[in-house]
Amino acid sequence: MTHLQAGLSPETIEKARLELNENPDILHQDIQQVRDMIITRPDIGFLRTDDAFILRFLRARKFHQTEAFRLLAQYFQYRQLNLDMFKNFKADDPGIKRALTDGFPGVLENRDHCGRKILLLFAANWDQSRNSFIDILRAILLSLEVLIEDQELQINGFILIIDWSNFSFKQASKLTPSILKLAIEGLQDSFPARFGGVHFVNQPWYIHALYTLIKPFLKDKTRKRIFLHGNNLNSLHQLIHPECLPSEFGGTLPPYDMGTWARTLLGPDYSDENEYTHTSYNAMHVKHTSSNLEREASPKPMKRLVQLRKLLGFWLAVEVGCKSGRKGSSGSERGCR
């Protein structure tokens, strides 16, 4: 075992060998091959090229050196092209701090049965007068930067659960093609994380419509790992054990405390003055989710037609905003990879 694998359990080292093609005997050679490719992209400033940093990109691309270098280049290019997003890129930045305090993202303390870290997003908590989508995205990217330092997570990866309960049509209309494209590029194309699944729960019909429209611009591998559960928590539990989930998702854990991850990152700078109280949110969630889902899933035919026309007209901009999209087929994937 090389020092680059120090701290990993024997089980995780074996998993890296079997699933990621990680070979400790040639680890340094693999890293050097990626580093040698940097000269081919003089247009990009590679601000960090140490062994441990490059290793996470190799793991994210199963030790395909060319793909790992492409991801490394996209990581720094994304930051060059979006300089404003990464100014003062730390937890105490006012915008990032607000998003963290409001629970964007939530991060469960325990991992799932495959060793993956579970991230939560409660979409209805997006107060658009308080948090911009960009600041929420920055908070998510910063959180991933902190979490990916853990070598176990570089190998085991992450799970994302998005609860769309009480997420209004008005809120959905703010999800413009340009900001969704920015999020896809930042998370799918430019970050060295392995996402084992993205799970939608309690999504209304217009989230289905939005997903259908952005689907062609997702990689085939990404699409295979997006699951639309609606209000069927049994299908969620088939993939993530209830013992790993808070009660909002039918799990056996206590309700999620929105301030948990913010307190971890902010430490003494954390203030709950404007924090959403999850107890009240959870009560609202349990009381109103079923009726809201029925209402949103089956609005009056004329109202739904008007909303759909608005949505489709709005999303015609996708053709302009997401020219770099990829085509492929959808599917599903089970297990921990």
Average pLDDT over residues 241-264: 96
pLDDT band at 2 (very low <50, low <70, confident <90, very high): confident
pLDDT of 18-46, one tens digit each?
A: 999 999 999 999 999 999 999 999 999 99
Does the structure show a pLDDT above 60 at 187?
Answer: yes
Domain made up of 94-272: CATH architecture: 3-Layer(aba) Sandwich (3.40)
What pLDDT is stored for residue 319 in this prediction?
45
Averaged confidence pLDDT in the chain:
86
Does the structure show a pLDDT above 60 at 261?
Answer: yes
Residue 123 CA to residue 131 CA, distance in Å, equals 12
Give yes or no for a contact between 161 and 199, defined as CB atoms under 8 angstroms apart: yes
Average pLDDT over residues 285-305: 48
Please tell me whether the overall predicted TM-score, pTM, comes out greater than 0.75 for this model. yes
Give yes or no for a contact between 87 and 181, defined as CB atoms under 8 angstroms apart: no
pLDDT band at 301 (very low <50, low <70, confident <90, very high): low
What pLDDT is stored for residue 216 in this prediction?
85
What pLDDT is stored for residue 213 in this prediction?
85
What pLDDT is stored for residue 337 in this prediction?
62
pLDDT band at 226 (very low <50, low <70, confident <90, very high): very high
| Ramachandran area for residue 4 (φ above 0: left; ψ -120 to 50: alpha; else beta) | alpha
Average pLDDT over residues 98-117: 96
Residue 78 CA to residue 72 CA, distance in Å, equals 10
Please report, for the chain, the start and end positions of each structural domain, with discontinuous segments joined by +: 3-81, 94-272
Closest CA to 59 of 97, 91, 21: 21
Domain made up of 3-81: CATH architecture: Orthogonal Bundle (1.10)
pLDDT band at 306 (very low <50, low <70, confident <90, very high): low
Does the structure show a pLDDT above 90 at 303?
Answer: no
pLDDT band at 314 (very low <50, low <70, confident <90, very high): low
Average pLDDT over residues 198-222: 92
Average pLDDT over residues 147-165: 97
Average pLDDT over residues 273-278: 42
Residue 253 CA to residue 242 CA, distance in Å, equals 8
Closest CA to 175 of 318, 44, 332, 71: 318
